[in-house]
Amino acid sequence: MILYGPPGSGKDTITSELTRIRPEFALFERLKAGPGRTTGYRVTTPDHIEQLSRAGELLYRNARYDAEYAIDRQGVAALVDAGRVPVLHMGQVVGATAVAAFPLHWIRVLLWCPLHITESRSISRGDKDVDTRVKVWHETRADLLAHAAEPWTLTLRTDVLRPTESAHTIVEALSQEAPAERRNIRELVG
């Protein structure tokens, strides 16, 4: 499952709810090389990420917040082999598309919240880089607009739905194998 959205859209909170109501869900901990938060990541080095890339072992790689991140095939496979449903947090549409190279039925969930919610949530959780997260919100909006035709299994407004409601909606879509929907992205992101 892919949770895509700007900073503060609820990826961590909704993942916590998903794992609470259905233990088979598991956060996929991306590889991370660089400064900042380490919780929810497998900390590594840029050299290791580069080695995996050269070996064709990465599904997706990106840089943000002065750090480098990667989604490795083996990490996803380990969760699947353990009977878990990997929950990937994404901030780029191209990444949400790239992981489809891994043979799995991917549910693609677009989480959205207005800019003032991102700011408020970022301040509330004590982020030291609120301005950078606001910038990334704008980048995410531009990314969505540039890929407005991309289909999403679900589109959830996290400023309207509580995390528990969002998690239950996702579980329902997964159990029904809901088809991807095309939504007016321009209307959603304003």
- How confident is the model over 78-91, as a mean pLDDT? 95
Residue 167 or residue 129, greater confidence: 167
Name the average pLDDT for the chain.
Answer: 92
Residue 119: pLDDT band (50, 70, 90) is: very high
Residue 179: pLDDT band (50, 70, 90) is: low
Token reading at 90:
């994404």
pLDDT beyond 70 at 190: no
**8 A C-beta contact, residue 161 and residue 115:** no
Torsion of the alpha carbons at 158, 11, 84 and 29, rounded to the nearest 10? 180
Q: Which of 34, 93, 88, 30 is nearest to 65 (CA)?
A: 34
Residue 179 or residue 114, greater confidence: 114
Give the list of residues 6+ apart from residue 142 with CB closer than 8 angstroms, or none.
none
* Placement of tokens 């380990």 in the chain: 78
Query: Model pTM?
Result: 0.90
Give the list of residues 6+ apart from residue 49 with CB closer than 8 angstroms, or none.
31, 33, 58, 61, 68, 70
CA distance 63 to 68: 4
Output the pLDDT for position 165: 97
Which percentage of the chain shows pLDDT scores above 70? Answer: 93
